[in-house]
Amino acid sequence: MNKFWLVAKYELKRNMAKPGFIISILGFPITVLLIFTLTFFIIRSENKNAPVGYVDNAGFLTNAIPAPHRRTCFDGKEFQNLLPLITYSTEEEARAALDSRKIQAYYVISKDYRESNKVQLVYIKSPGSNATRQFWDFMQINKMRGMDPEKAKRAVSDFNMVVRWDKKGVIGAPGFSEKTILNNFIPMIFGIMFTILIFISSGYLMGAVVEEKGNRTMEIIVSSVSPYQLMGGKIAGIIILSLIQLLSWSTFAILFGIIGAAHLPREILQNLAIYPKVAGTILLLAIPAFIMFAGCLATVGSMSSEYREAQQMSMLFFFPCMIPIWLLKPILENPNGPISLFLSFFPLSSFTTMCVRVSFFQVPLWHVAVAGGILVICAVGSVWMASRVFRIGMLRYGKRLQLRDIFQVSRS
């Protein structure tokens, strides 16, 4: 077997046997499962089935369009039961119904609702989230009756509803969009997860380099293989390890989707989809980004004398990755603005920024091409740098390389 693959195989087997790897394989899904289970029980406990009343002082809901059904299950066949909405002509009647527990709450629509949008909610014990959500939908749908098509478009974009309209206005009853809001976040969540995965895996690589320096194995290894074979093999092993990790997480996610579909509310898992164009863009950028970070952290490992020191230094690479998450607002407000462009083309923040941008917007092809090109160049450069620094730093037992040494290495 080629020495490159021999190193990769050994690195893979060595890391897979570590407790940390097993914990990360199982720990992540267990955490997600716990969060979803908790969410499920919270939602379930919040749903209450008693009717909701309303007093329409503005006459806004005369001949009202009924509230639309929200589907509750993943397969889309079952619908959430609609709570009865009871009209009361006076607040006193509504109050009496509330006191006698016939209704769980009632809304009072103010006389000047069309101008002020003022609606009052009265309850003894806070109503279920299904009740408030249903009344909210009911109001939104009725708001759009006869609305100008452009205004309706803007309104539905915010509320996850679909409306049909002609020149005269909105036609028929609006319904819910097939697209869930979660769809927008999938690429971004994937991007963040992948970034974390990159750092976990590259951390293994960094640890391996520091460890080999620490236990003096390095000198024996480099008398058998070239630094390029050693570093390249290690990076390949770590990439395969990460793919195994990603595959196991994805398998869990699919299992979770299938099992959870029958039990979780429709609005959480409604029509989850990964769009090929978005997935393709992310994958295209993920591979060079991964190699680049692996190279960077291997360089850090070669420079450092202790794992703790290497960990601290690796933060210098982790923080720029997270900048796009902290600057989410300006990026979303101006996806093609200078901040977005800078972060898209700056190698360390490029991958996360592009994940955020493709999640919500159509990103120009040339932006993807430039970001990808920069990442590929940096990936090659970082692996080259890692093997150079490794060559110099590997035998400096107990000593850290100085920046001056790194500049010397890069110049030579």
* Residue 380 exposed, middle or buried by CB count within 10 Å (0-12, 13-18, 19+): middle
Pairing of strands 170-176, 161-165: antiparallel
Give yes or no for residue 226 binding other proteins (CB under 8 A).
yes
Residue 205: CB minimum distance to other proteins, A? 15
# chain residues binding other proteins, by CB under 8 A: 21
Pairing of strands 52-56, 105-109: parallel
Residue 229: CB minimum distance to other proteins, A? 8
C-alpha–C-alpha distance, residues 263 and 300, integer Å: 46
Q: Which is nearer to other proteins, 319 or 397 (CB)?
A: 397
Q: Which residue among 12, 52, 206, 218 contacts other proteins (CB under 8 A)?
A: 218
Q: Which residue among 221, 327, 376, 380 contacts other proteins (CB under 8 A)?
A: 221
Give yes or no for residue 216 binding other proteins (CB under 8 A).
yes
Are 348 and 199 in contact, with CB atoms under 8 Å apart?
Answer: no
Stretch that binds other proteins, among 2-10, 32-40, 191-199, 285-293 (CB under 8 A): 2-10
Contacts for 363 with CB less than 8 Å, ≥ 6 apart: 281, 335, 354, 357
Single-letter residue type at 315: M
Quick note: the x/- pattern for other proteins over 7-36, rule CB under 8 A, is x--x---x----------------------
Q: Which residue has the tokens 């709570």?
A: 83
CA angle 279, 288, 22 (to 5 degrees): 80
Quick note: the x/- pattern for other proteins over 281-320, rule CB under 8 A, is ----------------------------------------
Q: Which residue has the tokens 């793919």?
A: 243
C-alpha–C-alpha distance, residues 38 and 35, integer Å: 5
Identify which of 238, 229, 211 has the alpha carbon closest to the alpha carbon of residue 292.
Answer: 238
Q: Which residue among 220, 338, 362, 403 contacts other proteins (CB under 8 A)?
A: 220
Give yes or no for residue 225 binding other proteins (CB under 8 A).
yes
Q: Name the region of 128 (left: φ>0; alpha: ψ -120 to 50; beta: rest).
A: beta
Stretch that binds other proteins, among 45-53, 78-86, 216-224, 381-389 (CB under 8 A): 216-224
Residue 212: CB minimum distance to other proteins, A? 8
C-alpha–C-alpha distance, residues 82 and 55, integer Å: 19
Quick note: the x/- pattern for other proteins over 364-403, rule CB under 8 A, is -------------------------------x-x------
Buried b (16+ CB within 10 A) or exposed e, 195-231: bebbbbbbbbbbbbbbebbbeeebeeebeebebbbbb
Give yes or no for residue 241 binding other proteins (CB under 8 A).
no
Residue 201: CB minimum distance to other proteins, A? 19
Give yes or no for residue 224 binding other proteins (CB under 8 A).
yes
Give yes or no for residue 358 binding other proteins (CB under 8 A).
no
Q: Which residue among 49, 157, 217, 336 contacts other proteins (CB under 8 A)?
A: 217
Q: Which residue has the tokens 């697209």?
A: 179
Instruction: Kindly list the residues in this chain that would bind other proteins in the complex (CB under 8 A).
Output: 1, 3, 6-7, 10, 14, 212, 215-226, 395, 397
